[in-house]
Amino acid sequence: MANTTQVQFEQVHEGLRFLEPVQVVFDGVHEDVMFVVEKKGVVRRVSTKPDAAEKPAYLDIKERVADRNDEEGLLSLVFHPDFKTNGELYVWYTAHRPRRGVLSKFTTTPESPKVDPDSEVVLLEVDEPWGNHNGGTVLFGPDGFLYLGIGDGGAANDPEESGQNKNTLLGKIIRIDVNQTQGRKQYTIPQDNPFVGVDGVKEEIWATGMRNPWRMSFDRTTGELWAGDVGQYAWEEIDIIVKAGNYGWNVREGSHEFKGDQRKASQMVNPVFEYGRRSGGSITGGHVYRGSTIPWLVGRYVYADYLSKKIWNLSKSEEDEQLYKANLIAATTPLAISSFGETPSGEILACGFMTPYASIGKIYRLVPAPEEDLSDSTTDTIR
């Protein structure tokens, strides 16, 4: 096999460490400031400079966040596209008594050093029967609407069959308009959502059949929504999320038969790529690279496996545009990647832990290896 070390990880900060960092984002206003989400319930505002020594708390909601289980906590943050003028930011976190996922809005000013926790407005709460499979990514699409990936509610095998039940938000990608309110709701349903007006169906739903979508991102050039969905026993999958798409769980795991009646399987959306247990056991969805530092990577989807610590790029096959191929670009990495981030200029960042079971982590940026070997090493292809 050819040398596949095509990229390397460069520490953003010389000395800073973070407690269980699960996301790094930017506010669309300050290019030299990043916001690091710590799972315990703290968002830290940090300079991008290598010699940064301070990591002050920007938002602290530890008292509201429940993280008793490994997959619980403060899981995602996004700034409103008009943050510069409206000061709005949105988070997704888990809470207990009762156990639930919470989508909330906070309001501040772009120049404020802190967000007032008392500015919280709860938009949505989703009952969670177990402590895992909470999904997590909240983000805005090119259409200005807010998207959120929610897991199937936990346990194994989706015992409540939430993935295929359109009367629950568990196991779904949802899409809402946070710029308007309706009655007691702090948001409205976009009228072109696929299930608007359908009886017995949650109108917030954009796509169904997800198990645990761990990290989603929009390609800033094409507008496509990419998601990494964590598998059960055998298959990790990458999906391009489309309106009304059914991604199969728990009838299927990836593109493979899993449980129950398979007659509707032909109506389900295949993953654009999947990999088995030889490559890893817990996908971390990433970003389509649109930066300038690594020219050969432009247009390729970068993702990783949290357990194996491998990282790949995904591109269309030259022989068949209906096929994708994965190229291993770093067989070993300095951390178990919990999340990728994207700088304002399109460069890719990664945050995570020294090992999958550690709690202290750092922020890295993806840069070319000193001596690039651009030979592609294909791990698999799928229609």
Q: What span, in angstroms and rounded, lies between the C-alpha atoms of 309 and 355?
A: 9
Contacts of 319 (CB under 8 A, 6+ apart): none
Q: What span, in angstroms and rounded, lies between the C-alpha atoms of 90 and 322?
A: 36
Q: What span, in angstroms and rounded, lies between the C-alpha atoms of 229 and 248?
A: 11
State CA 96 to chain mean position distance: 22
How many Cα atoms within 13 Å fall on the side-chain side of residue 93?
30
Q: What span, in angstroms and rounded, lies between the C-alpha atoms of 348 and 262?
A: 39
Q: What span, in angstroms and rounded, lies between the C-alpha atoms of 103 and 172?
A: 14
Q: Where are the domains of the chain?
A: 7-382
Q: CA of 167: how far to CAs of 159, 170, 172, 205, 224, in Å?
A: 15, 9, 11, 9, 26
Token pair listed for 89: 């930011």
CATH of the domain spanning 7-382, picked from 2.120.10.30, 3.90.780.10, 3.40.50.300, 3.40.50.620: 2.120.10.30
Q: What span, in angstroms and rounded, lies between the C-alpha atoms of 190 and 238?
A: 26
In this structure, what DSSP letter does residue 269 have? P
Q: Which of 140, 154, 150, 101 minimizes the C-alpha distance to 124?
A: 101
Question: What are 273's strand-pairing partners?
Answer: 238
Evaluate whether 168 touches 162 at the Cβ level (below 8 Å). yes
Evaluate whether 234 touches 271 at the Cβ level (below 8 Å). no
State CA 39 to chain mean position distance: 14
Q: Please state the pTM of the whole predicted model.
A: 0.95
Identify residue 357 by its one-letter amino acid code.
Answer: Y
Q: Cα(first)–Cα(last) distance of the chain, in Å?
A: 24
pLDDT tens for the chain, residues 1 to 383: 344 568 999 999 999 999 999 999 999 999 999 999 999 999 999 999 999 999 999 999 999 999 999 999 999 999 999 999 999 999 999 999 999 999 999 999 999 999 999 999 999 999 999 999 999 899 999 999 999 999 999 999 999 999 999 999 999 999 999 999 999 999 999 999 999 999 999 999 999 999 999 999 999 999 999 999 999 999 999 999 999 999 999 999 999 999 988 988 989 999 999 999 999 999 999 999 999 999 999 999 999 999 999 999 999 988 887 799 999 998 778 889 999 999 999 999 999 888 888 899 999 999 998 864 444 444 443 33
Cis bond leading into 98, ω under 30°? yes
